[in-house]
Amino acid sequence: MKLAVFGAGAVGRSVAELAAEYGHTVTALADSSGAVVDADGIDVESVLARKQSDGAVGDADPETALESEYDVLVEATPTTLGDAQPGFGHAREAFARDRHVVLANKGPVAERYDELRALSRDSEGSLLFEATVGGAIPVLSTIEDVGADNVTAVRGVLNGTANFVLSRMATERLSYEHVLAEAQDLGVAEADPSFDVDGTDAALKCAILANVLFDGGHTLSDADVDGIRDLPGSALELAAEDGWTIRLVGEVARDGVSVGPRLVPENGTLAVSGTRNIVQFETKYAGRLNISGRGAGGPETATAVLADVTRLERES
Amino acid sequence: MKLAVFGAGAVGRSVAELAAEYGHTVTALADSSGAVVDADGIDVESVLARKQSDGAVGDADPETALESEYDVLVEATPTTLGDAQPGFGHAREAFARDRHVVLANKGPVAERYDELRALSRDSEGSLLFEATVGGAIPVLSTIEDVGADNVTAVRGVLNGTANFVLSRMATERLSYEHVLAEAQDLGVAEADPSFDVDGTDAALKCAILANVLFDGGHTLSDADVDGIRDLPGSALELAAEDGWTIRLVGEVARDGVSVGPRLVPENGTLAVSGTRNIVQFETKYAGRLNISGRGAGGPETATAVLADVTRLERES
Residue A53's domain comprises: 2-135+298-315
A205 is catalytic: yes
* pLDDT on residue B103: 98
Give the residue on B whose Cα is nearest the Cα of A291: B291
In this complex, how many residue pairs, one in chain A and one in chain B, have their CB atoms less than 8 Å apart?
105
Give the pLDDT band (50/70/90) at residue B152: very high
Chain A residue with Cα closest to B272: A269
Is pLDDT of B118 > 90? yes
| Res B225: pLDDT | 98
Across the beta sheet with A224-225, the strand order is A224-225, A256-265, A244-253, A151-157, A276-283, A288-294, B288-294, B276-283, B151-157, B244-253, B256-265, B224-225
Instruction: Please state the pTM of the whole predicted model.
Output: 0.95
* Partner residue facing A293 (CB), from B137, B287, B294: B287
Residue B316 has pLDDT above 90, yes or no: no
**Mean pLDDT calculated for residue range B83-96:** 98
CATH number at residue A265: 3.30.360.10
Tens-place pLDDT, residues B285-311: 999 999 999 999 999 999 999 999 999
Q: Look up the ipTM and state it.
A: 0.93
A134 three-class SS: coil
Q: Kindly determine whether residue A146 and residue B288, on different chains, have CB atoms separated by under 8 Å.
A: no
Q: Are residues A201 and A249 in the same domain?
A: yes
Write down the pLDDT at residue A54: 87
**Residue B276 sits in the same domain as residue B310:** no
For residues B6 and B119, membership in a common domain is answered with: yes
Q: What is the mean pLDDT of residues A177-196?
A: 93
pLDDT at A6 over 90: yes
Is 90 exceeded by the pLDDT of residue B54? Answer: no
Q: Check pLDDT > 90 for residue B55.
A: no
> Are A235 and A302 in the same domain?
no
- The 3-state DSSP class for residue A249 equals strand
* Better pLDDT: A232 or A158: A158
What domain count does chain B have? 2
Let me know whether B109 and B131 are in one domain: yes
Contacts of B267 in chain A (CB under 8 A): 267
Q: List, in order, residues 6 or more apart from A281 with CB less than 8 Å away.
A: A142, A143, A146, A151, A153, A154, A288, A289, A290, A291
Per-residue pLDDT band at A247 (split at 50, 70, 90): very high
**Nearest chain A alpha carbon to B309:** A145
Number of H helices, E strands in chain A: 13, 12
CA distance B151 to A56: 35
Q: Cβ distance B27 to B41 under 8 Å?
A: yes
Contact between A142 and B141 using a beta-carbon 8 Å cutoff: yes
Mean of pLDDT over chain B: 96
Which residues does chain B have within 8 Å of residue A291's beta carbon, measured at their own beta carbons? 142, 289-292
**CA-to-CA distance for B65 and B39, rounded, in angstroms?**
10
- Residue A113 has a pLDDT of 98
Give residue A315's pLDDT.
87
Write down the pLDDT at residue A248. Answer: 98
How many DSSP H helices and E strands does chain B contain? 13, 12
Residues of B in contact with A137 (CB under 8 A): 289
Confidence of residue B211 (pLDDT cuts 50, 70, 90): very high
Q: How many CB atoms lie within 10 A of CB A316?
A: 11
How would residue A262 be classed by pLDDT, with cut points 50, 70 and 90? very high
- Are residue B158 and residue B286 in the same domain, yes or no? yes
pLDDT at A101: 98
Same domain, B213 and B236: yes
E strands along chain B, which residues?
2-6, 25-31, 34-37, 72-75, 100-103, 127-128, 151-157, 224-225, 244-253, 256-265, 276-283, 288-294
- My answer on whether A49 and A98 are in the same domain is yes
Is the pLDDT reported for residue A55 higher than 90? Answer: no
Pairwise CB contact (< 8 Å): B307 & A145: yes
Do residue B201 and residue B88 come from a single domain? no
- Residue A180 is predicted with a pLDDT of 95
The minimum CA-CA distance between B19 and chain A, rounded to whole Å, is 12
Annotated catalytic residues of B are 205
Q: What is the CATH number of the domain that holds B105?
A: 3.40.50.720
The chain A residues in contact with chain B (CB within 8 A) are 18, 22, 130, 135-138, 141-142, 145-147, 150, 267, 269, 283, 285-294, 299-300, 302-304, 307, 310
Residues A213 and A129 in one domain: no
pLDDT in tens, A59-102: 999 999 999 999 999 999 999 999 999 999 999 999 999 999 99
Confidence of residue A316 (pLDDT cuts 50, 70, 90): confident
pLDDT in tens, B21-40: 999 999 999 999 899 999 99
Task: For residues B126 and B160, state if they share a domain.
Answer: no
User: In angstroms, what is the C-alpha Rg of chain B?
Assistant: 20
- The pLDDT of residue B47 is 95
What pLDDT is recorded for position B166? 96
Percent of chain B predicted with pLDDT > 70: 100
Same domain, B46 and B173: no
**pLDDT higher than threshold 90 for residue B204:** yes
In the prediction, which pLDDT does B315 show?
87
Q: Which chain A residues are Cβ-neighbours of B13 within 8 angstroms?
A: none
Report the distance separating Cα B300 and Cα A268, nearest Å.
23
Confidence of residue A115 (pLDDT cuts 50, 70, 90): very high
Residue A216 exposure: Cα atoms within 13 Å on the Cβ side: 8
Percent of chain B's residues with pLDDT above 90: 94
